[in-house]
Structure 1
Amino acid sequence: MTDSTTTTVRAALSGLSVEEKASLTSGESFWRTKAVGDIPSVMLTDGPHGLRKQREGGDHLGIGDSVPATCFPPAVALGSSWDVELAERVGAALGVESSIEDVAVLLGPGINIKRSPLCGRNFEYLSEDPIVSGVLGTALVRGIQSQGVGASLKHFAANNQEGDRMRSSSDVDERPLRELYLRGFQRVVEDAQPHTVMCSYNRINGVFASENPWLLTDVLRTEWGFEGLVVSDWGAVNDRVAALRAGLDLEMPGSGGQTDAQVAAAVADGTLDEAVLNASAQRNADLAVRWAATPRAEGPLDVDAHHGLAREAAARSIVLLKNDAPEGAAGSILPLRPDQSIAVIGAFAEKPRYQGAGSSMIRPTRLDDALTSIRAAAGDVVFARGFSVAIDVSSEETARLRDEAVSTASSADVAVVFAGLPARLESEGYDREDIDLPADQLALIDAVVAANPRTVVVLSNGGVVALPFADAVPAIVEAWLLGQAGGSATSDVLFGAVNPSGKLTETIPRRLEDTPAFLNFGGEEGHVRYGEGLFVGYRWYDARRMDVAYPFGHGLSYTTFGYGDAAATTTFGDVEVRVTVTNTGDRDGHEIVQVYTSLPGSTVQRAPRELKGFASVALAAGESREVTILVRRADLAYWDVRAQRWVVEGGDYMVEVGASSRDLRTTATVAVTGDEVRLPLTRESSLAEVMAHPVAGPMVQAALAGMAQMMEGASAIMPEGVSMDKMMGSFPIGRIGMMAGGQVTPEMIDGLIAAANAPQQ
């Protein structure tokens, strides 16, 4: 905020009544805030991968009649680019389109963790890992806000399923809540200061997110330093006064003044401090006045340029899962050659599924399909629909479509099957029931492969799917939901005009039963127990040494990359990792260099390895480059439940660098100095904890030396190798007297505790 804007806001608020200030903190309509006095109304509208602005006179949701806008790749795809610079450029384009349409706040990005592949809204989220979500989320926010438009970071927090989302309680222990589900939000807030944060519908450990002062005030504002406005998800407010008191600044949509009256009455009867209302009113006024003073981007929109960016982003987001040679052939099946005869099969090639269903549905400025683009790139292309996405399809029609596809594929040099999830199987508002492709599509793939082993499968899906055909086909392309230019981008990758460089930001499991939240997802009686704790995504599979279809971070290229020896050093507390990467193939390409850390012998529970940094590196064929990746000291910290703060445990950290979580090419070790954690001792403190205490430890050692004869006698009757220290290590110090034969009195124990807890000089 500039000084002049601050002055304007203060002047505008100074003469307002309590009722007028209350009205500032709720919407006028579905998409707009109220204009009060000199404070203007502003529009907030849906994203996150495009502008979904309702046309004048359209339905109140605007889903059926929004203005045309560029549909960029949804987060499920863009996350797989792992490219910070690309994400920021997409964000800036979103900001430009919002500014042209006089939209003050674009509702996005969404950075919730992909706890389970069953979440119906996973297509709007970036990753199963908080570092990926936080870094790419920061880039998107910076891009959007570079145009003066506010971002709305969502959905805060622990919103990891759609089923019963308006009421259910996400019951999460402190460490996973902090280390997984809040960590990405913390990164974005601290690095990018989004203008708004959107609170989610759900409860967190029994308390609605909209009424949670610990979440909205203690953590978000006090700990992380958030300076902006907290807005509700649409319809997330349960109790307006409680929400305002907790730190919620803006209820959306408006209630026709009903909840404004509740707020004014609460101030009048003293149940709501007027200072709380004043603070929220000021934040709303700040947002509105800042937007009024912000120059708008000049229109009209450069549709071609933004479509070109959408095509670039889509191509960079495609993940090449597999690329082998067909049986009896030499060389990989991809890229395709224009002189090949190509059979294109599958309804999605002709009518692409390019975005998820629900509030984020964008009306695109144009729409590319893969079939048209493939025909433009190759001369001999035939097409068969192969399957129908309609709900009620007869078995006869299913068989006819499959037989037609088999006939089409049998005589072609290569068959490309476009398969995926129909829109009805994944949507906002409800969750998936399984991770399987429809049975008719699986049968189609089997039949096509039997007729033509030279088959490529291209997937269109917003969440991962099981791949029972993986061993049978030579190539699999994970094309996600790619936005409006996805068809041409897919053709670019298939023919090698763009070298694929996307990598998975979520693990593809072999079975739903293998997934971390399998026994806990969905919950019952309004509670969802996050029983997998810290072990979400690749952390779970690695800890259990479990086979997966394709691991986190995996993605192939038409070229190859070699890694030199990694080196790791500490720099001002952070860890600097350096490694030379070489493009050892004959094509230019991007490599996603990933850095994972672990601490052998850690005193707290940890995953075998955790991603802590990454970089997207462009390398020409034959080029080598030293890549430097900074691992922040804060990202090495775990949440100490006892101390109620972040703690970096000291020790020799293993740093693993590679091409995926299971393709680790080089390892280094770096010594990291730990944070001192001195907890108050109590009678419940264990003997081991007392012995480790810098004050109490030496005192106890001296006392034990005086009891040496007794200790030696006890040790003498123990079997060889049994450790008395380990046996007694967990014994509470308050009960040690019973083992000391009267030599240790309660007064002595209390004196020891008092000495240990006394302020140190």
Structure 2
Amino acid sequence: AIYVLARNSGEGSDRKLEGGDYYLTDEEAYNLTLLGQKFENVIVVINAGGIIDTNFFNGKGGYDADDAYNRGQIEGLDALVLMSQAGQNGGYALVEVLNGTVTPSGKLTDTWAINYEDYPSAEGFSYLDGNTYEEYYTDDIYVGYRYFDTFGVDVAYPFGYGGSYTSFTIDVTDVTASADKVTVTADVTNTGSVTGQEVVEVYFSAPDGSIDKPYQELAGYKKVEVEPGETRTVKISFDTADMSSYDESSDEYVLEAGKYIIRVGNSSRNTVQAATINLNADVVTEICTNLLGLTKDDMQAGTYDADAGYILNYEDPATHKNPT
């Protein structure tokens, strides 16, 4: 049995924290429960442009079967496929994945949390705080996986994750670093029985210093097709300056002194430490100018003068018109 969960969203139509959107409807939960009981194999397809709750499938939240938001795990569901928004030929592509013509190799560009409340800006999203005119995102530099990985929040499906009909091993054979480039060389071996594609992802962890930094950041990636039993070698390079952080106090991008750890894997939660790069002194990689004067401290203290900046577009909250 194949059951499709479809969701609509778009500009001017925010997602809703309710059944039929982020959560299952009672009818969807009933149908999936029945299918799980009556069919030997059940595939759930998510046809949506955004994230939905997946506790009904993986049970990671530990909710009871009678949960009011239908978050209890439903028995008998075997596969979860994210169709996403694949365009007018998406149906053909989905069929080829489901019938085995093509081995899936997509990777998540978002982190799928176990609970909605795990997202750092969850409380103030859209209508939930009673204010749809202004939106405040409290993530700071900890956007997406940077937040979940930095603060050790368990997730349903991590950034960069994606299943396959085959299996792979990734073995790092070399890491080189210079003032200009960091290059990672790795062997990808297909240990399964069908041809497939794997994505090698390279992350870096910058040292603690005077500038706030996330636990790790994606630096580069490469997808490679590998036949069963075959090993392919990939090289991934990125600019050394990409590991620098912005210092608001000096309007500069800086590589702070310390140890830079290079990590390699196939998702943000499945990596190995491949190398450590030691930097003996701070290095300024780019000098900038803060034109608007807004800093994090000003914004948190409420002392930023918006009139001192450049107003590109303004809508009067009373008339919903641009007075200029």
Which of the five TM-score ranges fits, normalised by the shorter chain? 0.7 to 0.9
Match runs of 1:239-258 below 5 Å: none
The aligned amino acid for 2:38 is A
Q: Which amino acid aligns with 1:430?
A: S
CA contact (8 A) 2:199 2:266 kept: yes
User: What are the Cα deviations for residues 676-696 of structure 1, in whole angstroms up to 9, with x where unaligned?
Assistant: 59xxxxxxxxxxxxxxxxxxx
CA distance in 1, matches of 2:38, 2:263: 44
Q: Partner of 2:135: helix, strand, or coil?
A: strand
In structure 2, how many angstroms separate the alpha carbons of the residues matched to 1:549 and 1:441?
20
Taking the aligned partners of 1:503 and 1:525, their CA distance within structure 2 comes to 32
Q: Match for 1:458 among 20, 31, 45?
A: 45
Does residue 664 of structure 1 match 2:271?
yes
How many positions carry a matched residue from both structures? 261
Query: Partner letter of residue 107 of structure 2?
Result: K
Greater shift, 452-461 or 606-615, is seen at 452-461
Q: How do residues 606-625 of structure 1 correspond to structure 2 at under 5 angstroms?
A: 606-625=213-232
Alignment of 1:64-143 (within 5 A): none
Secondary structure of 1:491's aligned partner: helix
In structure 2, the partner of 1:479 is: 83
Give deviations 1:455-507, integer Å, cap 9, x for gaps. 11111001011112223322111111221111111110111110100010001
Q: 2:181 maps to what in 1?
A: 574
The Cα of 1:607 is off from its aligned counterpart by 1.3
- Give the secondary structure class of the aligned counterpart of 2:146: helix
- Residue type of the alignment partner of 2:283: D
1:222-271, Cα deviation, whole Å (9 max, x unpaired): xxxxxxxxxxxxxxxxxxxxxxxxxxxxxxxxxxxxxxxxxxxxxxxxxx
Cα displacement (A) at 1:420: 2.1
**Pairing of 1:600-749 with structure 2 (within 5 A):** 600-672=207-279, 674-676=282-284
Answer yes or no: is the 8 Å Cα contact 1:658–1:666 preserved in 2: no
Structure that is richer in helix per residue: 1
Conserved? CA contact 2:244–2:255, under 8 Å: yes
**Which digits, 9 at most, give the CA deviation of each residue in 1:492-527, with x for residues without a partner?**
011111010001000111221111211233373843
Of the candidates 457, 464, 468, which is equivalent to residue 55 of structure 2? 468
The whole-number CA distance in structure 1 between the counterparts of 2:85 and 2:284 is 47
Partner of 2:13: 430
Contact 2:180 2:241 in 1 (8 A): no
**1:360-379 pair list within 5 angstroms:** none
Does residue 1:510 correspond to 2:114, yes or no? yes
Deviation track 1:286-326 (CA, whole Å, cap 9, x = no partner) reads: xxxxxxxxxxxxxxxxxxxxxxxxxxxxxxxxxxxxxxxxx
Q: 1:650 to 1:664 in 2, by over 3 A?
A: same
Deviation of residue 446 (structure 1)?
Answer: 1.8
User: Structure 1 residue 666: deviation in Å?
Assistant: 4.8
Q: Using the alignment, how far apart are the partners of 1:613 and 1:619 within structure 2? A: 19
Answer whether contact 1:564 1:666 (CA < 8 A) is retained.
no
1:591 is displaced (CA, Å) by 0.6
Q: Is the 8 A contact 1:655 1:669 kept in 2?
A: yes
Residues 566 and 443 of structure 1: CA distance in aligned 2, closer, same or farther (over 3 Å)? farther
**Structure with the higher strand share, 1 or 2:** 2
One-letter amino acid matched to 2:270: D
What CA distance in whole angstroms lies between the structure 1 residues aligned with 2:263 and 2:143?
A: 20
Structure 1, gaps ≥5 residues long: 1-414, 678-761
Which one of the candidate residues 28, 33, 38 is aligned to 1:441? 28
Which amino acid in the other structure matches residue 78 of structure 2?
Answer: P
- Give the C-alpha shift of residue 429 in structure 1: 1.2
Give the drift of 1:662: 0.7
Structure-2 separation of matches of 1:530 and 1:594: 27
Percent identical among aligned pairs is: 34
Q: Which of structures 1 and 2 has the larger relative contact order (alpha carbons within 8 angstroms, sep 6+)?
A: 1
CA contact (8 A) 2:121 2:138 kept: yes
Deviations 1:134-160 (A, max 9, x none): xxxxxxxxxxxxxxxxxxxxxxxxxxx
**Residue 418 in 1 paired to residue 4 in 2?**
yes
Q: Which ranges of 4 or more aligned residues in structure 1 deviate by more than 4 Å?
A: none
Name the residue aligned to 2:199. 592
Output one character per residue of 1:140-186: Cα deviation in whole Å (capped at 9) or x when no partner. Answer: xxxxxxxxxxxxxxxxxxxxxxxxxxxxxxxxxxxxxxxxxxxxxxx
Q: Partners in 2 of 1:643 and 1:557 — Cα distance?
A: 46
Aligned residues of 1:564 and 1:580 also touching (Cα < 8 A): yes
Shift of 1:568: 2.1
Distance 1:607 1:432 in 2: 28
Q: Aligned pair in 2 of structure 1 residues 649, 416: CA closer, same or farther (>3 Å)? A: same
Instruction: Name the CA distance, whole Å, in 2 between partners of 1:470 and 1:654.
Output: 35
Q: How does 1:380-399 map to 2 (within 5 A)?
A: none
Q: Is the 8 A contact 1:568 1:670 kept in 2?
A: no
Amino acid at match of 2:189: T
1:183-198 pair list within 5 angstroms: none
SS in 1 for 2:283: coil
CA gap 1:566/1:609 in 2 versus in 1, 3 angstroms: farther
Change (3 A) 1:624 1:488: same
Would you say the 8 A contact 1:565–1:666 is kept in 2? no
**CA distance, structure 2, for counterparts of residue 532 and residue 559 of structure 1:** 36
Matched, 1:542 2:149: yes
Give a deviation string over 1:322-341, Cα, whole Å, max 9, x none.
xxxxxxxxxxxxxxxxxxxx
Shift of 1:565: 3.0
- SS of 1:417's partner is strand
CA–CA distance in 1 between the matches of 2:153 and 2:40?
30
- Whether contact under 8 Å (1:493, 1:499) holds in the other structure is yes
Please name the residue that 1:278 is paired with: none
TM norm structure 1: 0.33
Task: Give the structure with higher Rg (CA).
Answer: 1
Match of 1:317 in 2: none
Q: Secondary structure at the match of 2:157?
A: coil
Distance in 1 between the 2:116 and 2:132 partners? Answer: 23
SS class of match (1:564): strand
Distance 1:568 1:603, change over 3 A: farther
Please give the root-mean-square deviation of Cα atoms over the aligned residues, in Å: 2.1
